[in-house]
């Protein structure tokens, strides 16, 4: 049987002139429905640079279990929660399990795909004995960091998770804040957010990428009900998830949107999830992503910009541009199926001691001017020269390219163009961010920078692959979020191990005296 090939994607245009008649004469500020989502195809392609495979770390499940068990930030958070929990609950039957074990179980889930299989592994006396022994070796002088004598049971895990959610004040929010702080710390350690680039030519490790994914619930129903067995007459209650919602076009089973923001280096496995959360009703996933990254941008000056898909609408882009950062995203088509264009007004072009005022129009991300070539009106894209920040406002220095089609007296002249929308544009809804990008698809930096956003899609796919049937393994948003925080911690630990194997760097702050086993194959000389 012949292999079914993918349809060829539309290619990006270059700096060659485009006939104005092909652009569509009428300016349309409306936005068509997204086409780059779960099954669609975007109007431009940044090019995929990912390899066909990724070499694994070559660690066994028990190696990962030991890394999870000795991970210092998890112990610090668990000790803080356990101390507060004793004061809040008061006298009663003492706990037979550690809070650390409850949190650790949500991380270990991503090595065993199901909760039942994971607890079957922990119930092995040999495995539990290894974990206890390695923790004692890793933290010999910290006697509070010890596992209980008997393995944690599934019943204790469910009971402990229920107590944490119901008895601890804002426990889920506090766990999220803890993950934000520790993952940012790990990101800096492995080589992200380093001031080794410029605003004009930013590096991937200083860009925060994001994406949203649909997580199918454990049960394929969100409504309670009963059915009658036709053979026995038994009344069977339907299993359902009350917090799941229907997908927008009912092409997928009920679930919820999960939005992630990550940063990574250019090396395999060195990926850190800075923040993630469920999308609430009444706001788009681009707005959720913007709300997540703005606090990070405020505290990390090295962030050069963000990358997202076309769900990052112009108002959200302006919020990020107002901080003086790049926004890497494609432009959406209009409702008439045309590429977006917005007039930017008249700008002063300078060059060779001359000045000239020319009207500028942004088309599909790139600003350009109109010329007459062989009696036909043409739109000439400009090439990006420099990006500067004046206060918190981004301006780009754009140059008329030196092409044969361009009039000689215009070649090489430059003008400064503001990238964020003006107050008047925001008031009337005709924002320039509808069709203007700080780094457009015609720029050489676009392909390597925007291509990094696809790593977020790969990360979401990797997370779902670790679930049996690619469905979340808990019922209810709160329980699901605890398991998803487990994946966030899992990714941070994996990044630490990958960085340690690549550089030989010190990871004692996170694993104490435990040394990750060197089981990776040696490269051939």
Q: Are residues 227 and 294 in the same domain?
A: yes
Q: Are residues 278 and 253 in the same domain?
A: yes
Q: Are residues 201 and 241 in the same domain?
A: yes
What is the domain count for the chain?
3
What radius of gyration do the chain's Cα atoms show? 27
**What is the layout of strands, in order, in the sheet containing 271-278?**
271-278, 255-264, 207-216, 305-307, 326-328
**Residue where the block lists tokens 């499940």:** 61
Q: Are residues 27 and 147 in the same domain?
A: no
Q: Are residues 106 and 204 in the same domain?
A: no
Collapsing DSSP to helix, strand or coil, 51 comes out as: coil
466 domain residue, yes or no: no
1 domain residue, yes or no: no
What is the tens place of the pLDDT at every residue in 218-259? 998 888 888 888 888 888 888 889 999 998 888 889 999 999
Q: Report, as ranges of residue numbers, the positions in the chain whose pLDDT lies below 70.
A: 1-12, 25-26, 34-55, 88-92, 519-525
201 domain residue, yes or no: yes
Contacts of 210 (CB under 8 A, 6+ apart): 259, 260, 261, 262, 289, 292, 293, 306, 307, 308, 453, 456
341 domain residue, yes or no: yes
Collapsing DSSP to helix, strand or coil, 56 comes out as: coil
198 domain residue, yes or no: yes
Contacts of 390 (CB under 8 A, 6+ apart): none
Which residues span the domain enclosing 174? 61-182+481-490+499-511
138 domain residue, yes or no: yes
Q: Are residues 417 and 341 in the same domain?
A: yes
Which segments within 10-158 are labelled E, that is strand? 18-19
Q: Are residues 70 and 38 in the same domain?
A: no
Contacts of 332 (CB under 8 A, 6+ apart): 31, 32, 34, 35, 310, 340
Contacts of 93 (CB under 8 A, 6+ apart): none
Q: Are residues 170 and 270 in the same domain?
A: no
Contact 419, 321 (CB under 8 A): yes
Q: Are residues 311 and 377 in the same domain?
A: no
516 domain residue, yes or no: no
Q: Which helix (H) or strand (E) element contains residue 326? A: strand 326-328
Q: Are residues 398 and 311 in the same domain?
A: no
Q: Are residues 93 and 33 in the same domain?
A: no
476 domain residue, yes or no: no
Q: Are residues 342 and 318 in the same domain?
A: no
């Amino acid at each position: 049987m012949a292999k079914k090939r993918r349809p060829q994607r539309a290619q990006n245009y270059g700096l060659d002139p485009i006939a104005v008649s092909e652009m569509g004469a009428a300016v349309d500020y409306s936005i068509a429905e997204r086409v780059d989502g779960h099954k669609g195809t975007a109007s431009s392609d940044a090019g995929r640079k990912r390899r066909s495979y990724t070499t694994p770390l070559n660690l066994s499940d028990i190696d990962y279990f030991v890394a999870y068990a000795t991970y210092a930030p998890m112990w610090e958070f668990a000790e803080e929660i356990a101390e507060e929990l004793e004061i809040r609950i008061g006298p009663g039957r003492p706990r037979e399990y550690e809070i650390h074990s409850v949190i650790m179980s949500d991380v270990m889930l991503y090595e065993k795909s199901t909760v039942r299989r994971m607890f079957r592994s922990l119930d092995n006396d040999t495995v539990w004995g290894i974990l206890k022994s390695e923790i004692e070796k890793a933290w010999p002088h910290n006697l509070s960091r010890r596992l209980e004598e008997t393995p944690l049971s599934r019943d204790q895990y469910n009971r402990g998770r229920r107590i944490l959610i119901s008895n601890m004040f804002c426990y889920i929010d506090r766990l999220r804040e803890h993950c934000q702080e520790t993952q940012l710390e790990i990101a800096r350690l492995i080589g992200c957010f380093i001031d080794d680039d410029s605003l004009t030519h930013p590096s991937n490790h200083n860009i925060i990428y994001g994406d949203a994914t649909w997580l199918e619930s454990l049960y394929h129903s969100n409504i309670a009900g009963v059915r009658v067995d036709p053979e026995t007459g038994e009344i069977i209650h339907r299993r359902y998830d009350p917090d799941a919602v229907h997908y927008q076009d009912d092409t997928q089973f009920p679930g919820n949107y999960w939005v992630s923001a990550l940063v990574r280096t250019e090396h395999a496995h060195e990926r850190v999830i800075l923040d993630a959360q469920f999308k609430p009703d009444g706001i788009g996933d681009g707005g959720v992503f913007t709300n997540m990254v703005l606090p990070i941008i405020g505290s990390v000056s090295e962030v050069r910009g963000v990358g997202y898909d076309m769900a990052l609408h112009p108002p959200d882009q302006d919020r990020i541009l107002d901080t003086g950062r790049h926004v890497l995203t494609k432009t959406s088509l209009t409702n008439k199926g045309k590429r977006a264009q917005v007039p930017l007004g008249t700008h002063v072009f300078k060059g060779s001691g001359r000045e000239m005022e020319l009207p500028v129009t942004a088309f599909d991300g790139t600003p350009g001017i109109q010329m007459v070539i062989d009696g036909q009106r043409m739109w000439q894209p400009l090439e990006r020269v420099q990006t500067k920040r004046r206060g918190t406002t981004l301006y780009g220095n754009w140059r008329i390219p030196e092409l044969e089609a361009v009039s000689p007296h215009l070649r090489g002249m430059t003008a400064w163009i503001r990238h964020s929308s003006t107050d008047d544009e925001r008031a009337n809804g005709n924002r320039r961010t509808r069709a203007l990008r700080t780094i457009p698809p015609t720029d050489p930096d676009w392909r390597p920078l925007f291509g990094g956003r696809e790593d977020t899609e790969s990360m979401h796919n990797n997370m779902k692959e670790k679930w049996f049937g690619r469905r979340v393994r808990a019922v209810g948003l709160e329980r699901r979020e605890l398991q998803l925080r487990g994946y966030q911690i899992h990714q941070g630990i994996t990044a630490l191990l990958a960085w340690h194997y690549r550089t030989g760097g010190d990871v004692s702050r996170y694993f104490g005296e435990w040394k990750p086993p060197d089981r990776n194959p040696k490269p051939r000389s």
